[in-house]
Every structure is written in structure tokens, then in C-alpha cells.
Structure 1
């Protein structure tokens, strides 16, 4: 089982952020396989969306994840760098393709590309994202991103995005492209993953529920001409629970990501990572 770690929010109010470079360097030293950063561009003051994580729908604060992963890339050699997740409806695919490819190019092919709509509908609307059909928008954006990575000259004409022929460089180092992980718990998640994804970033899912998803994957993948074994399943936990990781592994997961919160300064961050590493048997 691969063990990853996610760097969460700072204390509230967010006055000081620990440098992701420090956290990633320590994570690599301690044997973590991957380092993850999530995304929220803004936090609308008046928010009615339900948050599974943040009370009252108020996000304490997030560093830009790709800037943070760029910092992490510069001070590490082997640890994978995960966007967990990029809120795809909030950015144009031209910008996402450029940013992810640049990070993958500079890191030597270490990017894991998590995608999702996010829970905050107000934030998504402010940034031009689709409210009622976000996954349709994400699917189309990913189609455009893959084309931009694959083709020397690319044009795209879809429902949500339309652009004339362009050149977009650099291309990712990872062949054919960085793996794309769908996030969330939608009933259609496996269907979408089989159609255009490479894996799942799951959370708030029991091992038994994961087992049911894996049975669905084994049924759907061959019908789409894909091997069920090619998909990588990652489960996120807010606690370093080794027994839970074992049960997830038995159900079919390959990666267990421990999400940290409230990292206020470097010493505390190191101690937190050391505690997690010990608990997970690293």
C-alpha cells in the first residue's frame, strides 16, 4: 500500500502558512510516496453550500496548489506530487494544461492530476463554472487538456469550451500524460472513471462501499475495452489509521492518503509527519 500525505489548511484565521517545500521535503525523508495539495481559489462570505469538511462553508485558506507543488518539486527528488484536487470548472483548460504540463516537465514526471468540481457552488459560480452539470464540464475540459498535451497543434469545439488552433508547450514528461484521478462519491463515478479517467480519489467511503465500487469497476472496464487493474484507487483519511488502510487495501485500494490540518509552523509540521509515519509503519 502506498502511503501519501496531504497538506491541509492553516489555522483560522490564516495568518501564517508552512512552506509546502518544507512539508514535502520532510515527507520524502520519512518515506511517504506522495504529497498532495487541494484547491480553493476563494471563500464566498455568503455561502449556502454544504461542506463535508469546513463548518459553515467557510474555507480558512488555501495556498495555490500548483505554486505549492512547484515549491515542493524544487526540493524533492522522488515523491509524487498530487493535485488533490484541481477544481477544473474554475479554470480554462488552456491554463490547466499549461500549468500541469509545466509542473510535470520540471518535476521529471511526478505529477498525479486529481480533478473534481468541489463542494462550494458559490465559489464555482463566481469563477464561471457550471452549477447544474459540473461533471459534464469537467469531462469536456479533460478532453481538451488531453488533446493539448497530445497534439502539436490543437483546436477544440465543445459545449463549454471553444478555441481555434493553438500550440501549447511544454508537453508533460509522463507518457501518455499524468494520470487523471476523479474525486468524490457520485453514483456515476466508476462509469466516468472508466470512460475518461485513470483512478479515483475517494473519501468518506467505507471499505465495504469501496468493495462495491471495485465490483462495478470489474464489470464496466472490460465492456469499455479497459483492464480493471490499470486504475489506481486512492482513499483519503483524516486519521493515520493503519487498520483502515489494510481494509481499504483488501477491498482494492492501492494508496492511502492521510490529510493533515492546522499546520502552523515547521517544527509542528515535522512532528505531525513523524507521528503519521510511525502510525502507518513507514
Structure 2
């Protein structure tokens, strides 16, 4: 059993080593991948094996339980919502399958819609995947943008961020206490016991997705890192110094919080600029394509991994 450090938090892990991530001075930037897994794409467990073999650090899988046909909520990424949003697999089942056939690649939700999931069940799913992967899980979280989708889960759009924080705080109790209880505005449960506990201590790293400044504030308040989407509105490097100062002002050690960029460009010079500025991780996007189409893309991206 290895004791390792994730940006200032100590975790226990059998096969993974977060020490490089904790050392910003080494200018070591990890490269991960994300894809909407569907029944017409390379299966997620095969993608994980291929990515691990090529040196990628992590695989991030998104979540949408369904897409209501009313389509009232505008998609932040553009005018037309891509079909694969309707078609994506469940991320936890997919990551569990990936955990069974890999040994080193980190497995992440990118992101999990916490406001659409029961926190007691979700706490067990997180712990289970962390156990099955021997401590390789990263808990990427968000509140989402689709008001109709979350309404079908009984979640009010106006209070979704309060709900997300409360569910995260409740899950922390479940992960870290032999007997857990919670009495909040949205989450309430009497003293109870739940196992398994996560391998990583006190729990897997919680990386908060979303835009600046509000998601950055949430990451500082109750997360272990922030993962903004690259290419939308602001250059991530424009807000990185502000994020670190915000953390310091809030009494957090900036080095204890990872700064990751989701949907980073496949441009070596831009990625080198990210690395040299202290970005901890970039996540490259893949389209939901077949194995024969994806493997050449992985090979191309592996050259960036080597160059960085």
C-alpha cells in the first residue's frame, strides 16, 4: 500500500502515484482524454486500455441520464445539441468496466451530475469504482445546464448549486465516518453505516467543473480542484492567477487545488504554454467514433504526450 499526495491531500493508493501532480515546480502536466461513450463508439473499456498503452494519464466520461424532447434549455456549446448527448452510457458502469482491464490510468467522471443522483447511492458508486480501480478514481462534478433534465429528477434549477454542495458534504460524511449522519436543507439521513469506504483518503479528489468565477469559488469552497472548459469565453491562463489568489484569500493553499483544462486544443505550442504556466492537467476531447477511427487519433495525441 502506497501513501500518496494529491495537491496537499494525502490518499492511500495501491497502484497510482499522485506525487508528480503535487509538484507544480516540476512543470509536469498530465494529458487525459474524454469521449461520450455510446453503442456506436469504441467501448469505454477498450478505449481505456488503448489510452493506457499510449501513456495517457486519465480517461474522463460525461453524464446525461436523458435529454427531454422539449429542448427549452440552450446548450452552452452552440445552437444544436449533438446526438451523442442523448446516447451516452452511464459513466460509473463504464468506468467500472475500464477499471477491470487497466492498471494505471486514472478514471474520472467528467462530469457527474450530482444534482440528478441520490447522494447515498452516489457515495457507494464512487467508493465502489475507487475500490475496483485500486484508488484511481477522480470525482469530476457539476450541476449541469439542462433545466428540464434535472426537473425530471425532482431538482429545482434555481437551487441546484446549493443542492450540489450539500450532497457533496453529505457524501464526505459517508466516506469518512464509520457512522454518518446529515441534517441539511436538502439532504437528511439519520445515523447510518455504509461500506465500502474509498481507497483514497479522505476520499477521491473532487474536481469541480464550470465557468469562472462561480465554479472556481465552488472548487475552493469544497473541492480539490477546478476544471474549466477550454475555448469558451476566457483563456484559462487569463484566470489561473486569479484562481490562485482567490484560493489564498479564502484560506486555502493554492498548491492544494489542481487546475485542469477540459477540452484543451490539440496544439503543441498552446499546450506547452499551459504546462509552463502551471496547468496540472489537460483533457483532450475525442468524438464518439469506432475503434478503427479512434486509434489513429490516440496515436496522434500520444505524440503530444511525449512532447510534453
Q: 2:112 aligns with which of 86, 92, 97?
A: 86
* Maintained 8 Å contact 2:61/2:91: yes
Q: Distance in 1 between matches of 2:284 and 2:42?
A: 17
8 Å contact kept, 1:9–1:261: no
Change (3 A) 1:39 1:160: same
Structure 2 unaligned residues grouped into runs of 5+: 1-28
Equivalent residue for 1:8, pick from 30, 36, 41: 36
Counterpart of 2:301 in structure 1 is: 276
8 A contact 1:8–1:37 mirrored in 2: yes
1:43 and 2:67 are equivalent in the alignment? yes
The answer to whether the Cα contact below 8 Å between 2:66 and 2:86 also exists between their aligned partners in 1 is no
Residue 280 of structure 1 deviates from its aligned partner by: 4.3
- Closer/same/farther in 2, CA of residues 279 and 194 from structure 1, 3 Å limit: closer
Q: Which residue of 2 aligns with 1:120?
A: 146
Residue 233 of structure 1: CA displacement?
Answer: 1.1
TM-score, normalising length: structure 1: 0.91
CA displacement at 1:241 relative to structure 2: 2.0
Q: What residue number does 1:210 align with?
A: 236
Q: Is the 8 A contact 2:264 2:282 kept in 1?
A: no
1:50-129 counterparts in 2 under 5 A? Answer: 50-53=74-77, 55-57=79-81, 59-129=85-155
1:205 deviates by 4.8
Native 8 Å contact 1:28 1:79 kept in 2? yes
Deviation at 1:163, TM superposition (A): 1.2
CA distance in 1, matches of 2:222, 2:69: 35
1:227: how far off? 1.0
Structure 1: any 5+ residue segments left out of the alignment?
Answer: none
Once the 2 structures are TM-superposed, how far is the Cα of residue 206 of structure 1 from its aligned partner? 7.2
RMSD: 2.0
- Residue aligning to 1:24: 48
Residue 239 of structure 1, CA deviation:
4.1
Describe the superposition over 1:38-82 as per-residue Cα deviations: whole angstroms up to 9, x where unpaired. Answer: 000001111111113365346241000011101110010000001
State TM-score, norm by structure 2.
0.84
Q: How many residues align?
A: 277
Q: 1:257 deviation in Å? A: 0.5
After superposition, what is the alpha-carbon deviation per residue over 1:59-112, rounded to whole angstroms, capped at 9, x for unaligned? 241000011101110010000001000000000111110000110011100011
